[in-house]
Amino acid sequence: MNQINNSADEMTMRTPIQCSQCSMQSICVPAGLVPTDVEILDKCSREPHLFNKRNIVFSEGQKLNSVFAIKSGSVKCYTIDSNGKQQITSFHMVGDIVGLESLASGSAATYCETMETSMLCELKLSKLFAQELPKVESNLLQLMSRRLANCSKHYLNIVNTSAEQKVVAFLLSISTHMHQHGLSRSEYRLPMTRTDIANYLGLAVETVSRIFTALKEQQLINTEQSILTINDFTALESRVA
Amino acid sequence: MNQINNSADEMTMRTPIQCSQCSMQSICVPAGLVPTDVEILDKCSREPHLFNKRNIVFSEGQKLNSVFAIKSGSVKCYTIDSNGKQQITSFHMVGDIVGLESLASGSAATYCETMETSMLCELKLSKLFAQELPKVESNLLQLMSRRLANCSKHYLNIVNTSAEQKVVAFLLSISTHMHQHGLSRSEYRLPMTRTDIANYLGLAVETVSRIFTALKEQQLINTEQSILTINDFTALESRVA
DNA sequence: CGACGGATTGAGGGGATTCAAATGTAGTGG
DNA sequence: CCACTACATTTGAATCCCCTCAATCCGTCG
């Protein structure tokens, strides 16, 4: 698609857009940081970057005093264990904020890699906090608290459940996320590979694949390339109960 | 032990101690909220409660605008799924802060139950925030960010690991916690039952028990009632790598 | 002492993994 | 544009780890 700058691993936009005038405001800002004071956010942060597919946004351990808002596209966060094996800890899509875990230590807790061409807004914490606005911090607190709650929700999805329950719950959770951001909850694109899904859920790729085909045979879902269609929500929800 | 108030599920201390004069200050305050401004913390919060074993500190869904600092004892946090099955999401011990997940919604995300006689300090958020101290909020942010990092660490321990690795990593993580709070890292009391450990790790009780005996046979650990002794750290650490 | 809950040990079965191979899809360069 | 390659996905067969079921043992408390 993009002829220039193929080898570069990121490309900064020439003309940064104000958050207050950003077309993604309805999905990015409300989902994230400061619902009311968009113009304040404009003053202190906002540096949009465009990333190609499979580019590293930040690396584990690197100095990091920013968080990133995903304007478009999607990323995966992962660590590399002592054996060199990648373990995905989270996926993030349109409207999500990435990098909150790194806030305390000042260095990135995970790698963050785009799964497709993506636009991310860097929000520098120093500038954010320099505003001395209690609202900014308390919104961040809200965001992190919600993330913590999500974290244990995902945990519940992993512990003591069958492989099928893991996969179904995963698909439904993405559906919910899409719906919350004004997109279709019954048909969406899965930006990650089966291998990534398996890694994230702690399953073998083959198991994930087998479950997809089983669900298709039962007419509960459909897949067309990376497009996933959910045909029967109630049936799926009954599986995870 | 305590003859009076057996049926009541909590007992408020008659004479609250100031945080600045609290004997637990070295483990409670630094581990938690406001390392420097202890006297500020005194003014705005601090309501110590004594709980008997197996008492509910708060219930899932209940209105909650406080967090709790554990001065002594330990608690488990859990949810009840639609089938009525308990799923433990976290254990907390001396020096921990409980209830951070509930901050966003204003209602408790889990049940919180003492596993032994425990002393908890309730910190009311309204009073905390009323101080308008940026330091308080930014310390809370630090705390939550660290908790988020811990959360994904625990996640790594659950996903894609053998039962033995789960148990060993669990024992080592408690050891680390104990050490960080000035207690012995090689000998400590496990306040939770095998059933609770199994539930937390997503294993069967029998599996956990078998692994304990296997580790004992290999002289890596020892158990005397609920007292656990770690004999060989390097060997244990090599198992989880 | 007897009762109860927690912990341990054994035997057997099942769900998920591993190994192996074929098919499908996307990306590359001639 | 198409062959070629690399990678992702799917399917099959065999194995294994962990769970379930069952019985016993142990420590605590009434």
Å from the A209 CA to the D11 C1' = 10
pLDDT digits (tens, 9 = 90+) for B106-161: 899 999 999 999 988 888 877 666 655 556 666 777 778 888 878 888 888 888 78
Q: Identify the band that residue A182 occupies on the pLDDT scale cut at 50, 70 and 90.
A: confident
**pLDDT: is A164 or A152 the higher one?**
A164
User: Which residues in chain A have Cβ-Cβ distances shorter than 8 Å to B134?
Assistant: 129, 132, 134, 137
DSSP-derived 3-state class of residue B28: helix
Low-confidence ranges of chain B (pLDDT < 50): 1-15, 27-28, 30-32, 34-35, 44
What pLDDT score was predicted for residue B104?
73
What is the model's pLDDT at position A213?
96
Domains of chain B: 11-147 (2.60.120.10), 161-240 (1.10.10.10)
Q: Is A6 helix (H, G, I), strand (E, B) or coil?
A: coil
Q: How confident is the model at residue A103 (pLDDT cuts 50, 70, 90)?
A: confident
Amino acid residing at B85? K
Distance CA(B132)–CA(A79), nearest Å, equals: 37
CB B117 within 8 A of CB B52: yes
pLDDT for A200 equals: 95
The identity of residue A56, as a single letter, is I
Nearest protein residue to nucleotide D19, judged by CA and C1' positions: B204
Q: Which residue is nearest to nucleotide D9 (CA to C1')?
A: A209
More confident residue, A169 or B23: A169
What type of residue is B94? Answer: V
Indicate if the pLDDT at residue A3 is higher than 50: no
- The two beta strands, A86-93 and B118-124, are unpaired
**Lowest-confidence region among A6-10, A81-85, B15-19:** A6-10
* Residue A195 tokens, joined: 């291998």
pTM for the full predicted model: 0.82
Task: Of A72-81, A121-130, B148-157, give the lowest mean pLDDT range.
Answer: A121-130
DSSP string, B168-224: HHHHHHHHHHHHHTTS-SSEEE--S-HHHHHHHHT--HHHHHHHHHHHHHTTSEEEE
The amino acid occupying position B4 is: I
Asked if B54 CB < 7 A from strand C, the reply is no
* Among candidates A82, A148, A201 on the partner chain, residue whose Cβ is nearest the Cβ of B151: A148
